[in-house]
Amino acid sequence: MSRPSRTLPPLPSHRGSRGPFAESWWGNAWVEALEESSLDAGRLSRGRTYARGGYVGEITVTPGRIAAPVHGSRPRPYRTVVRLRALTDQEWDGFLDAVTAQPAHIAALLDKDMPHELVEAASTAGIQLLPGHGELDPGCSCPDHGYPCKHAAALCYQTARFLDADPFVLLLLRGRDEEELLDELARRNAALSAREKGAPRADEGPGPASGVPARDALATSVRPPLPDPLAPPAAPGEPLLFPELPGAPDPVALTFLATGAAARAHAALTDPGCLNPLPAWHDAIRLAATHPDLTGRGTFSARFAALAHGTGHTTPELARAAAAWRQGGEEGLAVMEDHWDPPAGNFDRARSALAAADLPRMTIHRNHLTDPTRTHQLRYGRDQRWYPYRNDPGGGDDWWPDGPADADPVAALTGLLDA
């Protein structure tokens, strides 16, 4: 049986907003549990800023695990995971017994409403639905060993917004998906109703048959139309993790190929026109940009080097181009390669908007705005978005794409400075 899961596409930036992070009782209860269990308030604060700034990618929730790519200071996102213990079958039985004892709880859940009184019902059964102290177990591919690091904290805060939209996600995280839970509740509720109405016990034999037999109800040639196909996800899912077995193909190479195939399949669903053949160099950039473990800036794997050399380019050239592709696909690559003179309008108003936000005064060169230290730069694309770039201090003109593009120059520069 397939492992149940739920996904939440990346949420838009809420940069600059104030007040409670979540909107619902369940979302705020999750945030409260997170903040009570954390050992580092400073990293929580940075994580909240990252979550508001839209740095968290698509969230995937499976029993006992929340995972998402989280953008940070490096070109590729970090692979971030937060684990929470799933309840045992015995604990689930105790919880469902406590819920079944309250008809109001059964009615609410079967109506796909999740009352917050379930926390108390679970507590009477000796079960804790919300994470307790030390239960959240964060993990991240970044070098920060904080508990949690700011990337894991951002994922936790963004999960609160997931719970705002659907609190049943908490039950999935604890081990049961919504469909399985509601089926079991319906079964228990029917059994309870039968007992209350004096239905015969199992040792008394069946009562008189009633109703319409299923074979008669289905004896028709009329079939309803098929439902519309599901909408494609906002982004391709995480790459498969293939096992390393004797005599089997290289699992890293298989992951690389599967990631590229998933990206192309997703593109075909969302924009069939994008299936036009790409030049070999652009296709290599696309592969490098969509593979989470292939790109870098200072060190490169042998597989990465082989991909670069196969197209006649150096590894830094491919890494830089892949970072630009992640910013905006072919348009992001064009922004890196093409310097042009924008017409009057949005580009001219950008410097005034940055000055009004008390951000550094930028100098203009063609479609580039550069700060006085020559470490931060915004590049204006022909798609009217701003692409952030970073230059190492004393690095000459070694500009690298850094962070997501944005239609608002203030948001793009603020994200660059925060990172």
Residue ranges of domains in the chain = 6-183, 252-337, 346-418
Beta carbons of 381 and 333 less than 8 angstroms apart: no
Check the CA dihedral 200-202-204-210 and report its sign.
positive
**How confident is the model at residue 273, as a pLDDT?**
63
DSSP state at residue 369: E
Residues in a beta bridge with 380? 386
> Which helix (H) or strand (E) is 122 found in, with range?
helix 118-124
The Cα–Cα gap between 304 and 235 comes to 23
**Residue 14 Rama label (left phi>0; alpha psi -120 to 50; beta):** alpha
Return the number of other C-beta atoms located less than 10 Å from residue 106's C-beta.
18
Instruction: Return per-residue pLDDT of the chain as tens, 419 residues.
Output: 457 888 888 877 766 566 677 888 888 888 888 888 766 677 888 888 888 888 898 899 999 999 999 888 787 888 999 898 998 989 888 888 888 888 787 777 777 788 888 888 888 888 888 888 778 888 888 887 777 888 988 898 888 888 888 888 888 888 888 888 888 888 887 777 777 666 555 444 555 445 556 665 555 555 667 778 788 888 777 666 677 778 877 777 777 777 777 777 877 777 766 666 677 888 888 888 866 555 555 667 777 788 888 888 888 889 899 999 988 888 999 999 889 999 888 888 898 888 888 888 889 999 999 998 889 999 999 999 999 999 887 657 889 998 889 999 999 999 888 87
The Cα–Cα gap between 118 and 181 comes to 14
The Cα–Cα gap between 155 and 78 comes to 11
Q: Enter the tokens of residue 43.
A: 């990293």
The Cα–Cα gap between 93 and 374 comes to 62
Q: Enter the tokens of residue 229.
A: 């196909």
**CA-based nearest residue to 381, from 419, 327, 418, 317:** 327
Length reported for the chain:
419
How does strand 6-8 pair with strand 363-365?
unpaired
**How confident is the model at residue 19, as a pLDDT?**
64
The Cα–Cα gap between 332 and 323 comes to 9
How would you class 358 by CB atoms within 10 Å of its CB: exposed for 0-12, middle for 13-18, buried for 19 or more? exposed
How does strand 78-83 pair with strand 65-70?
antiparallel
Residue 210 Cα to chain centre, angstroms: 49
Q: Is 170 helix (H, G, I), strand (E, B) or coil?
A: helix
> Which helix (H) or strand (E) is 177 found in, with range?
none
**How confident is the model at residue 334, as a pLDDT?**
92
**How confident is the model at residue 34, as a pLDDT?**
82
The Cα–Cα gap between 365 and 340 comes to 9
